[in-house]
Amino acid sequence: MFPSVIFTFLAAFQFHTFEFLVCATDEKSIFILAGQSNMAGRGGVTNGTWDGCVPHECRPDPRILRLNPKLMWEEAREPLHGGINTKPCGVGPGISFANSVLQRDPCLGVIGSVTCAPGGTNITEWKQGSDLYYWLLKRANAALRDEGKIRAILWYQGESDSADETRAKMYKKRLIEFFLHIRRDLPSPVLPIIQVALASNAGLYYEVVRKAQLEIKLPNVICVDAKELEVKKNDTLHLTTSAQVHLGKMLANAFFDIGIYSVLIKAWVEKTY
């Protein structure tokens, strides 16, 4: 009976249902940005130096914050992952995503970006119990200290695994385990997760990893395919600045695509259990 109720709500209220539910709270809307270098952003970086060019879609806004390396909120500016990575960062999808989300629904209020994407990491480094896993949890919990709600995880990772046959073949199983564990430990059993399917042909087993990403079928997990986005000519691995801006918009669209269903499902799960 429950699924039919959900679809009745969807048909009757469409986007406005989600908008009302979000507007009913003054909590900060928190998004976790995790994965590796393309989530961190290398747009505009050449030979280890960022060109400093900030697209209009990545402009700062007092309503868009980031959790800095000292676990304090500050106004978000490019490069969003600055200080989080040891490698030079440039434009990523995060601020474009936040601006797109606020443009579409100002009722989301303040956006809090929790940056957790060190470059070059493979999926085994994110398994439950690892340093990166607990680092993500530490930053997520710090973000929740002063009122807020985690709305989604944005995940872009897998290039490192495409260079190794065993890791590529195990990728789907390991990624599913990571998603299930991180939801349980946050805890948020139906937390939306928006993952990105690889854009760049990073290794021999690139298609194996992409296939795994596209085939994952978990509730409230959606895959955004970055394959057609432009990759930088000088390194063939990282997205260009314009591609990162477009990816941010794609992630925002995906967030709203699953927004109504996930909010209603979560309300039902919490009421039932």
Element (H, E) at 92: none
User: Residues 6 or more apart from 164 whose CB is under 8 A from it?
Assistant: 122, 203, 205
Q: What is the DSSP code string of 20-87?
A: HHHHT---EEEEEEEESHHHH--BTEETTEE-----GGG---TTEEEE-TTS-EEE--SSTTTTT-SS
146 is an active site residue = no
Q: Largest alpha-carbon pair distance within the chain? A: 58
37 is an active site residue = yes
The alpha carbon of residue 188 and the mean position of all alpha carbons in its chain are separated, in whole angstroms, by 16
Q: Which SS3 state, helix, strand or coil, does residue 145 take?
A: coil
Distances (CA, A) of 8 to 4, 38, 161, 248: 6, 39, 42, 30
The active-site residue, picked from 37, 113, 188, 262, is: 37
CA-nearest of 58, 164, 78, 160 to 118 is 160
Distances (CA, A) of 177 to 43, 127, 128, 129: 30, 8, 8, 12
The active-site residue, picked from 162, 238, 246, 262, is: 238
181 is an active site residue = no
Q: Which residues are catalytic?
A: 37, 235, 238
